[in-house]
Amino acid sequence: MPATDQSERRITDRLRRLAAIPPSSEVVLGIGDDCAIYRPRGSAEDLLFTTDFFVEGTHFLRETHKAPDVARNALARSLSDIAAMGGAPRFCLVSLCTAKWTDQKWIDRFFDALLAQAAQYQTILAGGDLSHGDVVACDVMLCGGVPRGKALRRDGAKPGDAIYVSGLLGGSALGLATGKGKAWKRHLNPEPRLQLGSFVRADLRATSAIDISDGLSLDLRRVCIASGVGAEITDPPRFPGVTPDQALHGGEEYELIFTVPRRQRVPDHFEGLPLTRIGTIISSPRGEVIYKGSSLPPRGYDHFAQR
Amino acid sequence: MPATDQSERRITDRLRRLAAIPPSSEVVLGIGDDCAIYRPRGSAEDLLFTTDFFVEGTHFLRETHKAPDVARNALARSLSDIAAMGGAPRFCLVSLCTAKWTDQKWIDRFFDALLAQAAQYQTILAGGDLSHGDVVACDVMLCGGVPRGKALRRDGAKPGDAIYVSGLLGGSALGLATGKGKAWKRHLNPEPRLQLGSFVRADLRATSAIDISDGLSLDLRRVCIASGVGAEITDPPRFPGVTPDQALHGGEEYELIFTVPRRQRVPDHFEGLPLTRIGTIISSPRGEVIYKGSSLPPRGYDHFAQR
């Protein structure tokens, strides 16, 4: 498989082409954003749907991550997708494939942590599936709600828009590298930016948004490709002790990148969380991100590039 | 782990207790049936949600099942859950975890078969997730629609109701055992009973229904437990060459078990598919299934019992 996100993009591009959605369908947005959008007939609300795998050996390690860590991070990935589209979570389905090494206690602790985090974000556990295999895998499907036609998408950024990022980047990557300190805590306790997502959608007239799950360089590029634009950025704000590379490319941040019209006022902070302007959307070959005058390669985390 | 479905039931019973649903919630049915039910405000339709894992080494074997077999069976499991509640499929999300042995061609053939089957059942592929791990795993989330308040559930069977089953049972189990002939084809090409599910719901005033994914004995017992009743049955109709045990306990049938009020007329066939009365719902200790005068142990397929 080729490096970067080429392989994953080849599959999703192909599927988007093949999985045609009839114009009359209640599915108003399919493959290619953080969530699919479904518009039930007669409903004032659009429903957002996302699903995320969390797999032993790829997303977590048996020796490193305890059952509650696995549960919290698996759910956070999906919650963060809902946040990126400005939605509020409604319910989740959780599929858990257990392995020989996961005993009853592990399973109970997994679900206890999952239910605690779900309750914190007003999310109901409505169902799922239990299975068994050689490794542990967890797939979380989350449904969110957003006012009809108002979901934030990746494809609305326009040249001249200002690019913002929330929080301080690179902490999760640093934590995973060192396994200690505040960065490790940050890695283990992701905070999906649901309040921020709603604020950005409703109050900042954002033109696009995405969450940083695979790294700033890769996720910003996804916005650029979807919107048919480029981006020019400076160094993003860094978590203490983090290298510029970790801030640019580190994954599992669950902060939001969003773009707003150039004259839109954006506060320095939202509920204590820094909001920092890192650049501007430009007209440019599809998808290019310019950093300090050069094209920034998308080196963010891509599971398919690990082969 | 204890044998039979005790272990899985322990987990789901615990979760149902812990995952309380507030009365004001749009989630009107949570853990414990084939699908969860969500009622969007203002919508004339209830939405059904189900998710099913399909895991290498547990549900399929790398050497035995080709990519299209994996795709068709993974999707059929979820389609069958929608059929069991009398719904019509709307869209799916497909999470695929690939392994080192799945090359680009395997992935393309997987999705081509999945899309072909989805199209056959008017199901849109609206999204999903791609990941990578040591074994192949696929999780299919399916959303279906059903007229508001009309979904068939497991918990409505009443003493005196007649018990029916569709089709001829045991073919999938025989196919898996022999790997050849019509039974093998049957195993590889499951046919979710979506038209039948709608007919049973709308025209037969069914009081309960479930699909046979884990075997008649286990799945009928689930209806009995949910409804607080028992059942008395005779031999179900058998696929050619099948033993009585395979018909009673074989999984992955995707036929429907349903109950109707005692005076309800039920045709012998529905669109060429036999509908056979196999017994009667009785007042009995919770969940007991009586077969030829004795209690029938639920020996159906339970992943947790394989340890």
Residue of A nearest to B137 (CA): A137
| Alpha-carbon distance B41 to nearest alpha carbon in chain A (angstroms) | 6
Cβ pair B118, B110 in contact under 8 A: no
pLDDT(A1) > 70: no
Of the pLDDT bands very low, low, confident and very high (cuts 50, 70, 90), residue A4 is very low
Number of Cβ within a 10 Å radius of residue A306: 10
CATH number belonging to domain B33-147: 3.30.1330.10
Which residue type does A16 have?
Answer: R
Residue of B nearest to A22 (CA): B124
Interchain contact B93–A (C-beta under 8 A) = yes
Those of residues 138-177 in A touching chain B at CB distance below 8 A are 139, 141, 143
Candidate from B49, B111, B132 with C-beta closest to A127: B49
Interchain contact A260–B (C-beta under 8 A) = no
Those of residues 53-72 in B touching chain A at CB distance below 8 A are 53, 55-59
Interchain contact A99–B (C-beta under 8 A) = no
pLDDT(B108) > 50: yes
| Alpha-carbon distance B61 to nearest alpha carbon in chain A (angstroms) | 12
Q: Tell me what the mean pLDDT of segment B294-303 comes to.
A: 74
Q: What are phi and psi of A238, to 5 degrees?
A: -110, 145
| Alpha-carbon distance B59 to nearest alpha carbon in chain A (angstroms) | 9
Cα–Cα distances (Å) from B87 to A95, B46, B75, B114, B139, in that order, read: 22, 9, 15, 20, 20
Sheet holding A124-132, edge to edge: A27-29, A36-38, A45-55, A137-147, A88-98, A124-132
Burial class (CB in 10 A: 0-12, 13-18, 19+), B199: middle
Interchain contact A44–B (C-beta under 8 A) = yes
- What is chain A's mean pLDDT, rounded? 92
Residues of chain A with CATH 3.30.1330.10: 17-147
For domain B162-306, say whether CATH 1.10.3720.10 is its number.
no
- pLDDT value for A305: 45
- pLDDT value for B111: 97
pLDDT(A82) > 70: yes
- Residue of A33, A51, A52, A101 for testing the chain B interface, max B β-carbons within 10 Å: A51
3-state secondary structure at position B202? helix
- pLDDT value for B77: 94
Q: Tell me what the mean pLDDT of segment B227-231 comes to.
A: 96
Residue of A nearest to B115 (CA): A19
- pLDDT value for A44: 87
Q: B104–A1: do the CB atoms touch at under 8 Å? A: yes
Q: B27–A111: do the CB atoms touch at under 8 Å? A: no
For domain A17-147, say whether CATH 3.30.1330.10 is its number.
yes
Q: B40–A40: do the CB atoms touch at under 8 Å? A: yes
The number of helices, as runs of H, and strands, as runs of E, in chain B is 8, 14
Candidate from B36, B40, B53 with C-beta closest to A126: B36
Q: A132–B30: do the CB atoms touch at under 8 Å? A: no
Percentage of chain A lying above the pLDDT 90 cut: 79
Interchain contact A24–B (C-beta under 8 A) = no
pLDDT(B304) > 50: no
pLDDT(A107) > 50: yes
What is the tens place of the pLDDT at every residue in A23-65? 889 999 999 889 999 999 888 899 999 999 999 998 899 988 9
Q: A137–B58: do the CB atoms touch at under 8 Å? A: no
Size of the A and B interface in Cβ pairs below 8 Å: 223
Interchain contact A106–B (C-beta under 8 A) = no
What is the tens place of the pLDDT at every residue in B129-152? 999 999 999 999 999 999 999 999
Residues of chain A with CATH 3.90.650.10: 162-299
Interchain contact B24–A (C-beta under 8 A) = no
Percentage of chain B lying above the pLDDT 90 cut: 79
pLDDT(B302) > 70: no
- Residue of A17, A43, A45 for testing the chain B interface, max B β-carbons within 10 Å: A43
Interacting residues of B119 by C-beta distance below 8 A, sequence separation 6+? none
- pLDDT value for B44: 87
Residues of chain B with CATH 3.90.650.10: 162-306
C-alpha A242 chain-centroid distance: 21
- What is chain B's mean pLDDT, rounded? 92
What is the tens place of the pLDDT at every residue in B150-182? 999 999 999 999 999 999 999 999 998 898 999
ipTM value? 0.92
pLDDT(B83) > 80: yes
- pLDDT value for B20: 84
Q: Note the residue count of chain A.
A: 307
Quote the CA–CA distance of A33 and A226 in Å, as a whole number. 9
Q: Tell me what the mean pLDDT of segment B13-29 comes to.
A: 91
**Lookup: tokens for A71:** 């549960």
Q: A38–B12: do the CB atoms touch at under 8 Å? A: no
Quote the CA–CA distance of A81 and A35 in Å, as a whole number. 6
Of the pLDDT bands very low, low, confident and very high (cuts 50, 70, 90), residue A5 is low
Element (H, E) at A232: strand A230-233
Contacts with B143 from chain A: Cβ below 8 Å? 38, 49
Quote the CA–CA distance of A136 and A56 in Å, as a whole number. 5
CATH class of residue range A162-299: alpha beta
What is the tens place of the pLDDT at every residue in B112-129? 999 999 999 999 999 999
Of the pLDDT bands very low, low, confident and very high (cuts 50, 70, 90), residue B3 is very low
Q: A128–B44: do the CB atoms touch at under 8 Å? A: no
What is the tens place of the pLDDT at every residue in A246-269? 999 999 999 999 999 999 999 999
Interchain contact A48–B (C-beta under 8 A) = no
In terms of Cα–Cα distance, which of B231, B230, B233 is closest to B285?
B230
Alpha helices (H) in chain A, listed in sequence order: 6-18, 67-84, 104-120, 171-178, 181-188, 194-203, 216-227, 244-249
What is the tens place of the pLDDT at every residue in B30-53? 998 899 999 998 888 999 999 999
- pLDDT value for B301: 58
- pLDDT value for A300: 64
Those of residues 186-205 in B touching chain A at CB distance below 8 A are none
**Lookup: tokens for A6:** 């080429």
